[in-house]
Amino acid sequence: MKLLVINGPNLNLLGRRESTHYGTLTLTDINTKLIEKADGRAEMEFFQSNHEGAIIDRIQQASGFDGIILNAGAYTHTSIAIRDALLTVKIPFVEVHLSNVYAREDFRHKSYLSDIAKGVVAGFGWMSYILALESFLSESK
Ligand code: DQA
């Protein structure tokens, strides 16, 4: 199974960003945990960008991947263009958030991705990514 892990804006600063919301691990730490958890059961590629168009380009070029683990960061709440790219490639994706976006500001309650996602995991810190991975691994058994 081939999985693409995409992180959007400001997630490159994990470890330095508001730790009450996002914890203390860096993105590299989280990616390492994903590789450890997969333990050879999934081939994973990692992509992070602060730019909406670059994320769209990566999604458009994702043919061959069985699934996407996506934390689109703030673009979750704004980007019809990322939604359209995901609808076009038709690769199942899990929407991930470190924080519980529903316990935060109202503008974070709107997601342009949730209704077309395979599932949504929010509020479990770095474990949100692991749970998303588990959902793909359990399906491939
Ligand atoms: C986030 C939540 C978003 O609202 C925020 O803009 C982020 C991170 C999360 O992982 O909790 O950048 O996606």
Residue closest via CA to ligand 1's atom 13 equals 73
Mean pLDDT of the chain: 97
Helix/strand/coil for 32: helix
| Statement: residue 140 has pLDDT above 80 | no
For tokens 């709440």, what's the residue? 77
- Residues 57-90 have pLDDT tens digits of 999 999 999 999 999 999 999 999 999 999 999 9
Assign residue 47 a region (left: φ > 0; alpha: ψ between -120 and 50; beta: otherwise). Answer: beta
Query: How much is the average pLDDT of 111-129?
Result: 98
Amino acid present at 124: F
Catalytic member of 22, 75, 112, 129: 22
Residue 120 DSSP label: E
pLDDT of 104 reads: 97
Strands (DSSP E) contained in 10-114 are: 43-48, 67-71, 93-97
d(CA 141, ligand 1 centre) in Å:
31
Catalytic member of 75, 97, 112, 129: 97
| Statement: residue 35 has pLDDT above 90 | yes
